[in-house]
Amino acid sequence: MDKTRKAPFRYKGFVILFYLLSPTLSTLAACKNRAFLLHWKKRKEACAMKDQITALLAIPLLIALGVLCLVKPEWVWLVTESWKSRGADGPSDWFEAYTRLGGAILLAVGLFCLILFVLL
């Protein structure tokens, strides 16, 4: 094997897919890459608005998903798990309990981020 040849970049497609599926992260990354050449003060000012927009998009999403998981775990089961089995009538008690727990955690994180966003 030729030692000068580099190993192929195997997870490049995953990185591209991740950036396509996550617009907030790609917006932040693009902002930071563009602002990298700017002076420190200018870079900080340039990314401040993008960070605020990202927070304004992410916080309501966290809160909405948390409320959905708390109130309607059956809908979460329909979207995520129902297609995996033929004879299942609905979610199990364990699934509902853990979905509600996850919803409570998402809601708490969303509210915490909202409080931080308002205060800072």
**Residue entry with tokens 């030729």:** 2
Task: Please give the residue that has the higher pLDDT: either 3 or 115.
Answer: 115
Going from the C-alpha of 108 to that of each of 7, 51, 61, 97, the distances in angstroms are 44, 21, 12, 17
Confidence band (pLDDT; 50, 70, 90) for 39? low
What's the pLDDT score for residue 120? 78
Indicate yes or no: pTM above 0.75. Answer: no
pLDDT digits (tens, 9 = 90+) for 82-99: 888 888 888 999 999 999
